[in-house]
Amino acid sequence: MNNVLEVIDVTVRFGGVTAVAGANFTMKKGELLGFIGPNGAGKTTLMRVITGIVKPQEGHISLDERDLSSLSINERINCGLALAQQIVQPFQDMSLLDNVALACGSTKTRNAIKSMFYTDRSEERQRAAELLHMVGLEDAANSMPSTLPLGYLKRMEVARALALDPHLLLLDEPLAGLNQNEARGLADLIQTLNNNGQTILLIEHNLREVMRICPLLYVQDNGRPIAYGPSKEVMQIAEVRSAYLGKAE
């Protein structure tokens, strides 16, 4: 079967700090891969390498067997990526609904000049409402982001990423800031999406939910890959336990 994502020998340095050191893994279609590691392990940085926000010093990324190196951020997204960021970034002057609706309108926004001739937003708003409903935010659709708690905005990030209908969904700590029920609900949704065929790379510190929904784990510590494999087996590895659990608990 074809690889959806290939991360090949990726190294990122910020000045003296090596944030990612030789990251290496692949994802096949339909996988749900949990990506864990202690704080500062370089998880977010690797996500940013995949989307093109950060340029790696070494290595490359391919999506659906296409090398992404020469592509800009928006071109990569249009190749089938979507990212829900760890640090929420809603458009502050738009309702949640419009935040998501803009992402739903990619056919209307792809060509900048043609976008002038489209005015109707009803279809996109309807799709946005469905997505917000899916993440449990139907009541907040018309609220402005500044009036909402973090847990809402985290889920809006997920809905906005889903709006892009990606081949590969990248989620960076979507459960952070959610209470236990909300976290469980969103984790269930992630699992459902995956059962429906969505390929998902999930960074998450909430190990309980990760272990519940992710069949596979990739572990990074200090930028280095230290384990990859079925979740239960990975959790038995001494290095993983000391690196991750030792510090986290």
Ligand X SMILES: Nc1ncnc2c1ncn2[C@@H]1O[C@H](COP(=O)(O)OP(=O)(O)OP(=O)(O)O)[C@@H](O)[C@H]1O
Which residues touch 133 (CB under 8 Å, ≥6 apart)?
none
Q: Which does 155 bind (CB under 5 to 8 A by kind): another protein, ligand X, Mg ion, none?
A: none
For 87-183, where are the E strands, in sequence order? 168-172
- Tell me if 76 sits within 8 A of 55, measured CB to CB: no
Exposed (0-12), middle (13-18) or buried (19+): which is 42, by Cβ within 10 Å?
Answer: buried
x-or-dash pattern for another protein, window 72-91, by CB under 8 A? xxx--xx----x-x---x-x
x-or-dash pattern for ligand X, window 18-37, by CB under 6 A? -x-----------------x
Q: Which is nearer to another protein, 77 or 186 (CB)?
A: 77
Examine residue 85 and tell whether it contacts Mg ion (CB under 5 A).
no
Distance between CA atoms of residues 98 and 104, nearest Å: 9
Kindly report the backbone phi and psi dihedral angles of residue 153, in degrees, each rounded to the nearest multiple of 5, phi listed first: -70, -35
Examine residue 42 and tell whether it contacts ligand X (CB under 6 A).
yes
Chain positions contacting ligand X, by CB under 6 A: 14, 17, 19, 37, 39-45, 86
Chain positions contacting another protein, by CB under 8 A: 51, 53, 72-74, 77-78, 83, 85, 89, 91-94, 98, 102-103, 105-106, 108-110, 112-113, 115-119, 121, 160, 164
